Structure formats: structure tokens, C-alpha cells
Amino acid sequence: MPTEEKVELASDGFRLLADPTRIKILWALLQGESSVACLADLVGPRPTAVSQHLSKLRLARLVYRRRSGTFAYYSAADEHVARLLAEALYHADHRVEGLPDHPHATARQRSKTRS
């Protein structure tokens, strides 16, 4: 069983990712470093709203900020964030497209799906 601290941190991360705008922001940042203004153009909300989302993601250590003069540039924190988001979106793909489970799914996972 994972420790309470790890469970809390994982729960916090999932809670922050339970927002469509934040998922879009992270997806954009996985394509490369970006500023708040560029992210607002890509994602849709005003720069102030994007900045607030980034602040929360940064506190959860899901994104990093790099300052260059008066500008701030953001990037996804690490490969863990990339894999977490990719898996969530792959899961959504399977549900939306009605795709079968992955071939490497264990017999236990397959039996759970059938019940």
C-alpha cells in the first residue's frame, strides 16, 4: 500500500487535472515551452485565467516556470506528467471509439472488464 503522503499527492494531482482547460494547457506544454499569451491563444481562456491555472499546476509541480527578463515560460514538469496525460487521453480514446483493451492486458484486467 502506498504511504498516505503519496496518496495525498497523487489525489491532488488528479484533482488538478479534473479540469478541461488544465488538460489542454498541459497538452500544449507537452509540445514545448510556452508563454501565458501563447497558451491563451491555443487554449481559449483569457491570459489571466490561464495564468491562474498555471499557478495551480506549478504549485502541484506539474509544470515548471522559467523566467527570462520580464517574461515567464512554462513547460510540463517531466515525463511522468506526459505519461499520465497520455494514458488518460488514450483511455478516453478507447471509450469514445469503442476500442478493445490493449493486447497486453492481463487476464485479471480482462475478467474485470467483463463483469
What confidence tens digit (pLDDT) does each residue in 49-89 have? 999 999 999 988 899 999 999 999 999 999 998 998 888 88
Query: Which residue is associated with the grid cell 483511455?
Result: 91
- For 44: left if phi > 0, alpha if psi spans -120 to 50, otherwise beta; the answer is left
pLDDT of residue 100: 77
For the cut 80, the answer to whether the pLDDT of residue 16 exceeds it is yes
* Residues paired with residue 110 on neighbouring β-strands, in sequence order: none
Domain residue limits at 48: 4-114
Q: How confident is the model at residue 27 (pLDDT cuts 50, 70, 90)?
A: very high
Q: How many domains does the chain have?
A: 1
Confidence category of residue 105, pLDDT binned at 50, 70, 90: low
CATH number at residue 103: 1.10.10.10
Does residue 103 have a pLDDT over 70?
no
Residue 52 makes CB contacts below 8 A (sequence gap 6+) with none
